[in-house]
Each structure stands twice: as structure tokens, then as C-alpha cells.
Structure 1
Amino acid sequence: MAAAAIPAHSATPEAGAAPVDWTKIFLGFGGMVIGQFMAILDIQIVASSLVQIQAGIGATADEISWVQTIYLLAEVVIMPLTAYLTRMWGTRSFYVVAVVGFMATSVAVGLSSSVGLMIAFRALQGIFAGAMIPPIFAVAMTVFPPERRITANVIIGLIVTLAPTIGPTLGGHLTDQLSWRWLFFINVPAGMLVIYLVGRYGAFDKGDPSLAKGIDWPGLALMSVFLLSMQYVLEEGSSEGWFDDDLILWLSVTAVIAGVAFLWRQLTYRQPIVSLKPFRDRNFAVGMLMTLVTGVSLFGGTFLLPLYLGQVRGFSAGEVGTTMLVSGLTMFLAAPLAGRLVAKLDARIAMAVGFGLAAWALQLGVHITDDWGFREFFLLQAVRAAGTIVAMIASQQMCVSTLPVSMMKDASGLINLLRNVGGAIGLAMISTILTHQGAVHYADIAGAASVANPVSSGMLQSLTELMSASGMANPEGGAAKAMSMMMHRQAAVLAFGDAFLFLAFGCWAAVVLALFTKPGKSAAPAAGGH
């Protein structure tokens, strides 16, 4: 039999009320944690297996990139709606439906025989996945009292940071041992466990069916156009040359117009689908900026390191996963300590410490060379991971420290949306930096490598003699080509250093931004989203 609905903040039962069964609450909450892990994991689980998927469905390189992109686009659209839908249907019913949909679409993606079908089903999978992420934060903030909230929120923060990190490693091993289709089939047994736990023990609240009347359909349409356009521009802008591409230009204009119209609609309509009231709280507004920076740091660092290891060092998926394991293990070990630290310190100090550690670690990457590997990245990863988990928990606490409980569901959707958008901004900026700075550094290196330069001319002469000794028909041409490849490699390494500097600068800016918040009511740290 399902557990009875649990009133918010039921730390101690009132006179005559049944005692709260915390075992059942944690079982229901644990089911949602597993669901959140699945949804976040599926963003990156395909990263190391795109070549195998491409061969399996006969897709081009451009088409296969949409297997990841469309998932993120769909997630972003549904996240702001989760607060409205959970209020209308109740958290348990909404979550179970989302998990069933996620399982069904996962199977459909795994069975896809063409790229068109896979992209379509992957979009649907992203919608259901996006619906599974924000509700867990709202549950943590409304069901658990402050003295128990820290445990729940540290678990959520751990899932948020671990899932993207281990995704490529797990995906690579599944593909090697079984096939790429099991990247999606694996969601079925996990989903069945989630349905059982949430369906049986997740009666956290009751729905309000009256909200089904008067749904703001124009507002929903404007929001969808705004978020889809913005996310597409951020995802594809760098590879298309930004505003040099007509589609990117017009989608940018569309995003601005639809975004302004959407904000006006939500501020004036009697029953907005996304409440913007939390932004009236200064701590929430500043905390959201911090959350944006957290998204840039978390997803940007997770994106940059494997890219360097694969492109410059030529590491295999397994070697990349082994190197990246440092981040995951550090976050796993640091999460409980981070929770205690944030609970004892002023949130502003905790944010400054967390972002400061992440910034210092990322600055180490400015000095990157073309022979960095596990040992050289160890300290960078460990300190950055520890700082990120502290900053994430502290910024989430700051967001909700002065908000009333009635706004928690709306805040949850907005927090998760901003973190995803921050990740998209970070990836777009990093891609642009790598492309632009790579070209700039190559031009500088090529300009310095003239005939008048004794070092470069000597190197070219040595390469020519080596090619000639090996019996090459055109040793001069081979030497020039090898020299060009070496210069491109060095330019790429310098560009990676610039990208690490960009991430470090963002974290240092967050340290300064923390000074503009004010102390909130004492609350346990909150973490959530992805």
C-alpha cells in the first residue's frame, strides 16, 4: 500500500498525527535519485560510442552529433514546466509517467535502424528525462526538515556531478562488452526499480486538477520557441561560424523576440506556466547567476579535458575514462565533507571558497603542454572537483535560503534550467575559443617559423634528412607537411590553455559575485539539477 501523503517540513508529528515513517520517505526519495541519475547519465553515456552508433545506423558525422544535441534541446524545454505539472498531477503520478515514458523511448532509441528514427526517439527521451530532474530538488526542500535535508541534498549534488563524469566510461565499456544498443536498454531494469520505489513510497503531495483549466498555451509556445532557438544557437553556433550563418542569425533574432514576449506573457497572465516570482528575492537572483557559472565550470571542464586527451594525446575511450575517474572519485569522497562545510559556514564564504578552489585548479591548465596525462591532470582534477561540489551546494543554498516553501517547485525548475543553459554557454564559448585561438596561435607560430629563424630552419632540415633517409620520394614536401602538423598541434595546445583560462576567469568572477549576496535564514545546503 502506498504511503500517505506527507506534509512539508514534517520534522515532528503534531499531536494526534501519525508519526512520520522516514524509511518510506527515503525509499521514495531514493527512487527519484536513481531516476535523476539515469536522466543525467544519458547525456554523456553515448559520448564514447558515437563512432559505433554512426556505423550501426549508417549516419554521417553531422547527423550523429544530433544524437546528443537533440536530447539536450528537449530537456531544456520541459524543465521549466515541471513545477506546473507536478502541482497539477502530484509529484508521484508525474514522476512515474515520466519514467515510463523514459523507458519506452530508451527501448525505441536502442531499436532504431535509421538516423531519422533515432533522432526522433532521442528527442522524446530527452523530454521525459528533463521531466525527471527538477522534481527531486523540490521534494528535498519541501518534505525534509532542515536537520535531515543536508543528507538528501548532498546525495543529489553527488549525482549531479558524478553522472556526467562517469557517463563516457560506462558507455564505452557497455559498447565493448555488449553493443551500443545496450546504452539505452540498460535504462529498463533501472526504470522498473524507480517505478516501484516512487509508486509505492513517493506520496509526497497531492495534485490540483483545477490547474488543467486555463493552461497558458501561447506562453508554452513562446517558451518552446525561445528555449529551442537559444539552445540550438549555443550548441551549433561555433561550428557554423556564429552570425556568418543565416540560420544561426535568424534563430538568434527569433530567440530574443520570443524570449521577451514570453517574459511579458508570464508577468501578465493570471496563471503563468513558469512563475518568475522567485527572482524578486535578491539572493535567488544572484544565486541563479552562480548556478549558471557552476554549469559552465562543471560541464565545461568535463568537456574540455576528454577533448584534449582524445585530440592531442590520442587516448582511447578507456584511457580517457581512467584519467577522468579522478574527478568522479574526488566528488564522491568530498560530497559529505562539502555538505558539512556548507552547513557550518556562511553560504557566501562557502561559495567563495568553492569557486576559488575551482578557479585556482583551472588556472593550472593554462600551463598545459602536449605531454600532459594522468599525473599532470591529477591535482587539477582533484581540486577542481572538490571546489565545484562545494560551490554547487553553497550556491543552491543561497538560491533558496530566503525563499518561502511555496516557491520551491518553481525555483527547482528555474535552477535546473539555468545550470543546463550555463553548460551550453560554456561548451559554446570553449568551442569558439579553441577554434579562434587555435587559428591565431597557428598564425603566430607559422610567422615565427621563417627561414631566418635558425631553430625552425634547423628542424625543417633535420626532418628533410630523416624523410630522405627513409626513402621518401619528396622529402622536402614530407618535411614541410610534418612541420605543419607539429605547428598545428602546438597551436591546439595553446588554445586549450586559453580555454582553461576562460573557465578560471568565470570562477574568479563568481567569487566576487558572492559578495553581493546577503546572509539568509539558516538552512541545510541544497543541491539539485544537473
Structure 2
Amino acid sequence: MSPVAHLTPGQKIFAFASMCLGMFIALLDIQIVSASLRDIGGGLSAGADDTAWVQTSYLIAEIVVIPLSGWLSRVFSTRWLFAASAAGFTLTSLLCGMAWNIQSMIWFRAAQGFLGGSMIPLVFTTAFVFFQGKQRVIAAATIGAIASLAPTLGPTLGGWITDNYSWHWLFFINLLPGAFVTIAVPLLVKIDEADLSLLKAGDWIGIALIAIFLGCLEYTLEEGPRWNWLEDDTIRATAWASLVAGVLFVWRGLTAAHPIVDLRALRDRNFALGCFFSFVTGIGLFGTIYLTPLFLGRVEGYSALQIGKAVLSTGVFQIMAIPVYAMLANRVDLRWLLMVGLALFTLSMFEFTPITHDWSATELMLPQAFRGLGQQFAVAPTVTLTLGGLPPARLKQASGLFNLMRNLGGAMGIAACATILNDRTNLHFHRLAERLTPANEPMNRLFEGVQPDTEAYTAALRSLWQLTFREAQTLTYSDAFFSIMVCFAIATVMVPLMRKVQAPQAPSADAH
């Protein structure tokens, strides 16, 4: 008998929706502060370097706990781990809103990320226990939409809240939904039992290794572009620590009898390819969320609210795609829907490459429409194709690894984009400067009638430098979008390597 046989369809949907709400606020908080870091820094009297840690600390803590969620759910059970995580996330959200200095904010954000991160993979696992057949496809579509929509909406919602209220409400808005999830989930999500005896046999060495590996890796990726990578002593030390711990973690995961993360699941072709596609979608999802607001802020001079409105179209088109995907997913091979999604994302990045300094929300509409459609058609089928073919007993740990790959792709995508912006801007600036010779007519018109060694001449030079730097920046953003396009083009042609997932069987009562 299924462990959820006692629940009515309505109760299953309500329980699943409650967990999805918890997942949504946990993912939303990754990016909700991104457009408001300047306001937070001003409110806490902190500089830009310290304020950046408001986002970095959350990401580091979240990426460490996600792969541990499978083991933790077996120890404490899914419902009590989710409820405790939701309660802790709500409490730390309150503390973030009440933070009295930047140090307290960073610590509270780290705790918030750690507690929120464990909720994300549990939603994936529960969906495959609650639903079968067509309902499972709809559940996967919902999860896929949330996984890509929540980070996309983060800057928009954050900018609106900060402009209309204050940055404190970026965190206070979590209190009501967090309290609801804390109460609702334990009442209905009874799919497994706690087994505290697993604490004695826990792979504590593996836990320590993965914490060092992922924590140091995330720090290296976040801070590397700012400090010129390995030229900085701290970055070099964390990179080496991550490398050594990562090698030992992989060895431990492949040789231990009960590893904290079951890397042997990667022997399954669909799971290995699904993790790769999850990694690539993470690059695209978080990379574009990073690049687009940055372009609008630095090049166009948009405010936080204007940036939010400009990028909102991505979310609108993704929401519009959900019913279309749900209808097609029951009629069309999911592999072809995945290929369409990845191809649409590739097309979106291609449409971004001719970007110019005067692009506004109007010019961004078409590429963002393709991105919104691509996100829905890329993420949702990947969930089903990757996790749908695994036996229920392996779902928990596999779900954590699958989600880790998306966040890891996002971290690497942001780091790569930041590096491109740093390095290629100088290259394009020097190439443009080489063309500023007496043969350049627009430049001659700028200096026409201006006498050397005067204030007007200095102002003209400053204006020329600003124009050149603006164009160099714009060309660099084009390079970054092109790099993401190449990643998605490679992923698109790899889709046929996946096997078609057979209709899943309902799990047995002892599968958990």
C-alpha cells in the first residue's frame, strides 16, 4: 500500500502546494536582494564589498545543504525536516529584517540560506511519491516553473518592495507564508518515518568533505572575479582547499558503503545527462539574471524598480507557457520538448548578442520572451526525465544531487560572466581606442572649435572616454550572452542521448 493512499486527491494537491510555497520563498530569496544591495548597505552603513556578502553568504549555505537533504530527510523524515526548515527560515527572515549591522545580517542570511536550501530538493521527491501518470507531469511542470520563475522574479519584486517600502520588507514578506508552511506540511506530508539511528552510522567524513568542497568552491566562484582569481592569496587557498576536498569527496562517494551523496546514481545515463542539463540551465538562468539587471543599471542607468519592470516579461511568458507545456507533455515525447526548450534558450541568447547601448524594455521583449518559454520547456522535462526513471529508494539523494548541479551551474555561470565583464571590457576599450585617430570624423566633430588645455577640452575628453567605455561595456555583455548561447547549443544536440522514461510505477509502502 502506498504511504499516501490515505490522502484524498485534494489533500495531496494542498500538501504539494504548501511545499511548493516553501520552495518558492527559498528560491526567491536568492535574488530578491540583488537589486537592493545598495539600499541595504546604506541602511547598515556598510561598503560594497561587505554588502555583497548579503547574497554570497546565502548562496554558500544553500549550496552546502542541498546535497545533504536526502540523508537529513531519512534521519528526521520529510515532513519534520521540511517543517523545521520552514520554521527556521521564517525566524531567520525576521532576524534579517531586524539586523543591526552588516555582520549580523551576513550571519542571519547564511542561516536563512542553510535552512531554506533543505526545502528545495524535498519538493521534487514528494512530487514523485504523491502523483502518478499525467498528474506527475503537471507536478513536474509546476516544479520546473517555480525553480526558474522564483529567481527571475526576485529582482523585480525586490526592487518594487525597496522603492515602495524599505529593504526590511524584503525579509518580512516571508513571515506569513513561512508560518503557513510550518503548520500545513506536518499535517499532510506523511510519506516516511524518522530514523534517528542513521545519525550513528552517518557519513560524517563525507559531510565534512562536501561542506569544505562546496563552501570553498562557492566562495572562490563568488569572490574570484573581484580579486583577479588566483592572484589573491585567499582565493588561491580556497581554490586548493576545494580541489583537494572535492577529489576526496568523489573518492568517498564512490567507495563508502553508505555515502552522504550517492554518486553511483550517475551511472544511470538519463540521470547523468539530466544533471548536465540541470547544470547548463543553471548557467543560463542565473547568468542572465545577473547580466540583464547589470546591463540596465550600468549602461542604461535604470533604477531598481525600472530594472524589475524591464525583466518582468521573462516571467510573464514563462507563466503563459505552463498550460501549453502541460498539454503537450502528455502527448509528446519529453525529450523533444526538452530539445525545444534548450533551443529556445539558445535562440534567446542569440537575440541578445546584437545588444546596443540604447536597448530598453522594448528591445529586450523578444529575447526575454524566448527565454521565458525556453525556461519552462527546458527545466520541467529535465525533472521528469532525470528523476522519473529512478527507483523510489534512490530518489531522495538523487534529488539533492540534481538540484545541486543547477545551483552549481548558476554559481559558475555568474563567476564566468563576471570574469568576461572584467577581462573583455578592457580588451574592447583598447580596440575602440585604437580607432580614435584624426581620421575619425565623429571624434573630430566632438573636439571641433575646442582649444587644448582648457576646461572645455578636458570635458570633451571625459565625454569621449565615457562614450568609449560605454560601448566597450555593451560589447562585453554581447560576449557574455554569446558564451551562454554556446553552452545551450551544445546541450541541445545532446538531448537525443537520453532514453525515454517509461510510465512510473507507484512506490510500495516500504520504499521509504
TM-score by length of 2: 0.95
Deviation by residue 1:143-188 (Cα, 9 ceiling, x = unmatched): 2112321222222122112211221222222223332112112211
Q: From 458, 468, 471, give the equivalent of 1:487.
A: 468
Q: Percent identity?
A: 37
Letter in 2 for 1:170: L
Letter in 2 for 1:60: G
Give 1:230-309 correspondences, 5 Å limit. Answer: 230-309=217-296
Q: Does 1:29 align with 2:42?
A: no
Aligned to 2:117: 130
Give 1:40-439 correspondences, 5 Å limit. Answer: 40-439=27-426
Letter in 2 for 1:455: E
Structure 2 CA distance, aligned partners of 1:205 and 1:337?
34
State the SS of the aligned residue for 2:447: helix
The answer to whether the 8 A contact 2:209-2:249 is kept is yes
- Compute the displacement of 1:195 (Å): 1.6
The answer to whether the 8 A contact 2:58-2:110 is kept is yes
Structure 2 CA distance, aligned partners of 1:413 and 1:62?
31
Q: From 427, 435, 438, give the equivalent of 1:440.
A: 427
- Compute the displacement of 1:459 (Å): 3.3
Q: From 437, 444, 447, give the equivalent of 1:461.
A: 447
Structure 2 CA distance, aligned partners of 1:207 and 1:454?
74
Letter in 2 for 1:58: S
The answer to whether the 8 A contact 2:143-2:380 is kept is no
Structure 1 CA distance, aligned partners of 2:397 and 2:30?
24
Structure 1 CA distance, aligned partners of 2:239 and 2:83?
36
Structure 1 CA distance, aligned partners of 2:440 and 2:307?
38
Structure 2 CA distance, aligned partners of 1:483 and 1:147?
60
- Compute the displacement of 1:41 (Å): 0.9
Structure 1 CA distance, aligned partners of 2:265 and 2:257?
16
The answer to whether the 8 A contact 1:449-1:456 is kept is no
The answer to whether the 8 A contact 2:141-2:381 is kept is no
State the SS of the aligned residue for 2:296: helix
Q: From 488, 492, 495, give the equivalent of 1:507.
A: 488
TM-score by length of 1: 0.92
Equivalent pairs counted in the alignment come to 505
The answer to whether the 8 A contact 2:163-2:305 is kept is no
State the SS of the aligned residue for 1:520: coil
State the SS of the aligned residue for 2:198: helix
- Compute the displacement of 1:220 (Å): 0.9
Structure 1 CA distance, aligned partners of 2:103 and 2:16?
36
- Compute the displacement of 1:473 (Å): 5.0
Q: From 2, 13, 16, give the equivalent of 1:7.
A: 2
Letter in 1 for 2:430: A
The 10-residue stretch of structure 1 (263-272 or 373-382) with the greater mean CA deviation from structure 2: 263-272
Deviation by residue 1:385-443 (Cα, 9 ceiling, x = unmatched): 10121011122222124321211111110111000000011111111111111111100
Letter in 1 for 2:457: E
- Compute the displacement of 1:347 (Å): 2.8
The answer to whether the 8 A contact 2:44-2:101 is kept is yes
The answer to whether the 8 A contact 1:342-1:390 is kept is no
- Compute the displacement of 1:456 (Å): 4.6
The answer to whether the 8 A contact 2:220-2:238 is kept is yes
The 10-residue stretch of structure 1 (126-135 or 211-220) with the greater mean CA deviation from structure 2: 211-220
Aligned to 1:475: 456
Structure 2 CA distance, aligned partners of 1:320 and 1:505?
26
Structure 1 CA distance, aligned partners of 2:243 and 2:66?
19
State the SS of the aligned residue for 1:367: coil
Letter in 2 for 1:486: L
The answer to whether the 8 A contact 2:144-2:383 is kept is no
**Distance change >3 Å, CA 216–CA 454, structure 1 → 2:** closer
Aligned to 2:510: none
Deviation by residue 1:98-147 (Cα, 9 ceiling, x = unmatched): 11111111111111111111111111111001011110000001221123
Deviation by residue 1:306-337 (Cα, 9 ceiling, x = unmatched): 11111111111111111111001111110221
Structure 2 CA distance, aligned partners of 1:174 and 1:445?
40
Structure 2 CA distance, aligned partners of 1:433 and 1:445?
17
Structure 1 CA distance, aligned partners of 2:322 and 2:45?
42
The answer to whether the 8 A contact 2:66-2:403 is kept is yes
Aligned to 1:3: none
